[in-house]
Structure 1
């Protein structure tokens, strides 16, 4: 009903906007003159009726006077009411146009914001891809070293560029921390780097000296954010077949890692370390000491323990290992999925 009245007042129902200017002028003048004629006739009729009612009666008629005054007031008040209605409608139309303009501006601003966000996303992805590629290149970097051999001949050797590799490790850590989409790829790259450069030797052989680049990679893996099982970014890290005897891993978190066929050893190498929901399959613990470590939820299968101590540690089932020579075997308890 409100829309019908609004359209009726604006005369949209007669489609006057399609008329030519001359037609609008003629019809507008005719309507105006017709309204003036009707108003004049009404005024004359009301005045005649009013005076006849007042002066034609034999006695004073208060009801007639009141009706006459009301009719005159209505006659003179009606144009003001019509004018006020027209003004209100004009203001409403202006407000509506302003609201439409504001809405269009808001839509345009929203589109611009979406475009800017998309451009920023593309730039971020390109930047992340470039950073990831550069970090991987740094991990595999070598440098040339010239030196004289026993025959006093100058030879050129290639050795790992430790400074560049460590820089690559820290670049991958930044990706893991800041870019959730590439965090898994960066983490698995570091794990592959450790598996490649920390390959185990036979237990009775002297372990390789620790390398700064591998040690830095282990530190980064041990302080990364650990997703909870079932989260969208939850995944398992594999550090199988590595030799940890020359590395200090205290105060690190190695949750949800597969240590298959790996070697642990070295006194005081693992204090306050966490191994929640890990898999220790076919591992060798030789001359190792773990103090205040947590192995809850881990799977321990076919491991060898030689001269090893677990002091104030929590076992796979939450049991306390006061000063035990091994971790109780606990098959298939890990929740890695």
Structure 2
């Protein structure tokens, strides 16, 4: 009996030890949740990558059809100044010159950035270095309000206010690069301001304290220490604003005139890449030359977006190396 009891006890101990070992070996609830979280993250990343690849492939394949299927020369497309894809010129070549729209897009973007940058930097400096906390909160609320206004509202205000003002001051129809520049100036101002504020606030406080301790005035500290240190961030803000201006369609379309002509003045009607796309893409048949030419314009916009993104990364790496040195 004693031997049988000892055997039962040993079996019970073995079973208990096995159960304890299985509990340790078996993944816990936290481990399973962690694995599920990783799986969801990987699936989300995979979906995003697949979506980006599909968009790139779709736009690239459609955009290259103009040069592959319709046998239009790339240089002819980039340097040509006549846009009428349904017609041919005296040499029998289709009129698909995108140069006026490319020049107008860059012109409006650069002018809007040049106009918005001083105001944005001044507002950022005032909000971070000069204004009291209550004033900073008020300006921040105004900036956030400007960011949230839809593009069509900016375009309608430009059509109702800016275009008549330009017509009254400079004559003509009022539609043109100047009107588009003023609308884009208001649209990108909050973007550049917000990013510039973040860059200035990222400057360590001991930089300011050291400058003031050495006898520099507050303005000298702002100009020679704070702004100089925050230069990479401010440049990134300007590039982001330019990217926003370059890709804007609806507001610019409402005030620029939508005439595919080489701009010869700031008050003459013109057309950007985005305005031409939004006005004409619904009037063409898929697979025809006019439709393929518009997709080529979209490809140019895609390449410019990639250029702006690479510029931002370059500025960020430059700023990082500058801080490390």
TM-score of the superposed pair, with normalisation by structure 2: 0.21
For the pair shown, the structure with the greater C-alpha radius of gyration is 1
**Hey, which of these two has a bigger chunk of helix by percent?**
2
The TM-score with structure 1 as length reference comes to: 0.21
More strand by share: 1
Q: Highest relative contact order (Cα 8 Å, sep 6+), 1 or 2?
A: 2
